[in-house]
Amino acid sequence: MSVVTIVGAGVIGLSWARLFGSAGWQVRISDPRPDLTDVADQHLAGLPVTLSADLAAAADGADFVQEAGPERIEIKEQMFATLAAHTRDDVVLASSSSSLLPSAIAKGNPAAERIVIGHPFNPPELMPLVEVVPGPHTSASTVDRAIDVYKELHKLPIRLRKEIPGFVGNRLQKVFNDQCTYLVQQGVIDVADLDDLVRASLGLRWATIGPFQSGTLGGGPQGMRHLVAHIGSQMTFEIGAPDPARMDDVLDAVESTYGTGESAYQELADLRDNRTRAALQPLGWPQPPDVRGT
Ligand SMILES: NC(=O)c1ccc[n+]([C@@H]2O[C@H](COP(=O)([O-])OP(=O)(O)OC[C@H]3O[C@@H](n4cnc5c(N)ncnc54)[C@H](O)[C@@H]3O)[C@@H](O)[C@H]2O)c1
């Protein structure tokens, strides 16, 4: 049985653990959080998981490492130094980082050729994509091995040709989310209506075809070239930017719309997961493992 060491038992680490565990991997999960046993009992029951607060011990003998610790470069550097020292030299060290450059995580690390980004979308057990981002020192065999492992988990690994902060998914998300915040701050629309508007239009469209495919169709039989010349040429307005000093106004509105705390989180996570599960197969994605958790 292959062994994966997952670093961090937070939102992403627990989801990776369910995914690897249900795919037949022996999972070791390392996190210094004092409630690690309770968290595992609650979220990983019935899976082949062992727990350790000691990262070096958890890494020893691993066949693959998926790091999902805090998004802080100094913490990642430290974790990857420990991982480099306590893994075989054929073991891929993949980071789930949302935006940190692999070259920054690997700086000064003797195992830089084994370090790669394997960035999932939340929750990794349901969302098909894993962005695979090599740094300048990442070896081709590391990238190939990471892609093989993610394919084995029935994910869609997409390899970026070079590193860039935020990679592709989160650069797109940043532009989009900034505009959502700006529109709410400007009083154009409220939080719930904006969410409904997106679900009823761009969300549904982009679940079926991508933006360039959509542009091709939007121009009719003459394709995207016609769309750009026709409608695109009139979209010359400035889009504005959100005011960081007024971010609390938007956060207050989001919290009063959707609530906060454990039960609100659970309810919303269940809604998302049930809808995502129902949509995956009809859209051509493999059915994910039926391991429930949040
Ligand atoms: N939350 C998301 O939507 C999302 C999506 C994709 C990728 N990511 C990335 O995944 C990573 C984890 O994010 P998250 O949202 O799960 O964070 P989180 O805060 O929920 O979990 C992080 C966990 O790391 C643990 N930790 C702290 N120090 C540690 C150490 N030295 N060794 C091991 N574990 C340690 C914490 O106790 C915590 O349980 C980040 O790099 C983030 O950018 C997050």
- 95 and 140 fall within a common domain: yes
Residue 293, pLDDT > 70, answer: no
User: Whole-prediction pTM value?
Assistant: 0.94
- As given in the structure block, the two tokens for residue 260 are 């906060």
- Residue 120 in contact with ligand 1 by CB distance below 6 A: yes
Q: Is 12 in the pocket of ligand 1 (CB under 6 A)?
A: yes
Strands 49-52 and 115-120: unpaired
Q: Would you say residue 289 lies in a domain?
A: no
**Which tens digit of pLDDT belongs to each residue from 29-50?**
999 999 999 999 999 999 999 9
Residues 54, 112 within the same domain:
yes
Are 52 and 151 members of one domain? yes
132 and 32 in a common domain: yes
Assess whether 15 and 149 both reside in one domain: yes
The mean pLDDT value for 207-228 works out to: 95
Sequence-distant (6+) residues with CB within 8 A of 9 are: 17, 29, 30, 31, 33, 36, 39, 40, 51
Among protein residues, the one with the nearest Cα to ligand 1's atom 21 is 10
Q: What is the pLDDT of residue 292?
A: 57
Per the domain annotation, does 233 fall within a domain? yes
Picking from 116, 133, 159, the residue at the C-terminal end of a domain is 159
Nearest CA to ligand 1 atom 38: 10
Q: CA distances (Å), 112 to each of 85, 109, 137, in order?
A: 12, 5, 6
Pocket test for ligand 1, best of 5, 6, 11 (most atoms within 8 A of CB): 11
Q: Does a structural domain hold residue 123?
A: yes
Overall domain count for the chain: 2
CATH, residue 153: 3.40.50.720
Same domain for 7 and 131, yes or no, is yes
Q: Greatest CA separation found in the chain? A: 61
Residues 111 and 206 in one domain: no
With a 6 A CB cut-off, is 72 part of the ligand 1 pocket? Answer: no
Domain assignment of residue 174, yes or no: yes
Q: What is the mean pLDDT of residues 153-164?
A: 97
Instruction: Please indicate whether residue 31, judged by its CB atom, sits closer than 6 Å to ligand 1.
Output: yes
Mutate to test the pocket of ligand 1, among 31, 73, 75, 133 (most ligand atoms within 8 A of CB): 31
Does 131 qualify as catalytic in the annotation? yes
Q: How confident is the model at residue 77 (pLDDT cuts 50, 70, 90)?
A: very high
16 and 6 Cβ atoms separated by less than 8 Å: yes
> Would you say the CB of residue 32 lies under 6 angstroms from ligand 1?
yes
Give yes or no for residue 130 CB within 6 A of ligand 1.
Answer: no
Cβ partners under 8 Å of residue 209, min gap 6: 217
- At 96-133, the pLDDT tens digits run 999 999 999 999 999 999 999 999 999 999 999 999 99
In a domain, 196, yes or no: yes
* Domain identity same for 128 and 179: no
Is residue 109 in a domain?
yes
* Boundary of a domain, candidates 135, 159, 183: 159
Tens digits of residue pLDDT in 245-280: 999 999 999 999 999 999 999 999 999 999 999 999
Q: Average pLDDT for residues 159-180, to the nearest whole number?
A: 97
Per-residue confidence (pLDDT) for residue 291, from 0 to 100: 64
Pick the last residue of a domain from 159, 180, 196.
159
What's the pLDDT tens digit per position in 229-254? Answer: 999 999 999 999 999 999 999 999 99
The one-letter code for the residue type at 36 is L
Instruction: Identify the pLDDT of residue 294.
Output: 45
174 in the same domain as 155 = no
pLDDT at 85: 98
Rounded distance between C-alpha atoms, residue 149 and residue 91, angstroms: 12
Of 96, 100, 268, the residue with max ligand 1 atoms within 8 A of its CB, to mutate for a pocket test, comes to 96
Distance from the alpha carbon of residue 162 to the mean position of ligand 1, in angstroms: 24
Question: What's the mean per-residue pLDDT of the chain?
Answer: 96
* 140 and 13 in a common domain: yes
Q: Is 66 in the pocket of ligand 1 (CB under 6 A)?
A: no
| 15 Cβ below 6 A of ligand 1 | no
SS (H, E, C) 17-28: HHHHHHCCCEEE
CB 126 within 8 Å of CB 153:
no
**Residue 287 binned pLDDT confidence (cut-offs 50, 70, 90):** confident
Task: Determine which one of 67, 131, 163, 262 is catalytic.
Answer: 131
Does the residue 278 lie in any domain? no
SS3 at position 124? coil
Check whether 290 has a pLDDT greater than 80.
no
- Residue ranges making up the domain that contains 191: 170-258
Same domain, 83 and 182: no
For 14-42, what is the mean pLDDT?
96
In a domain, 146, yes or no: yes
Residues 38 and 123 in one domain: yes
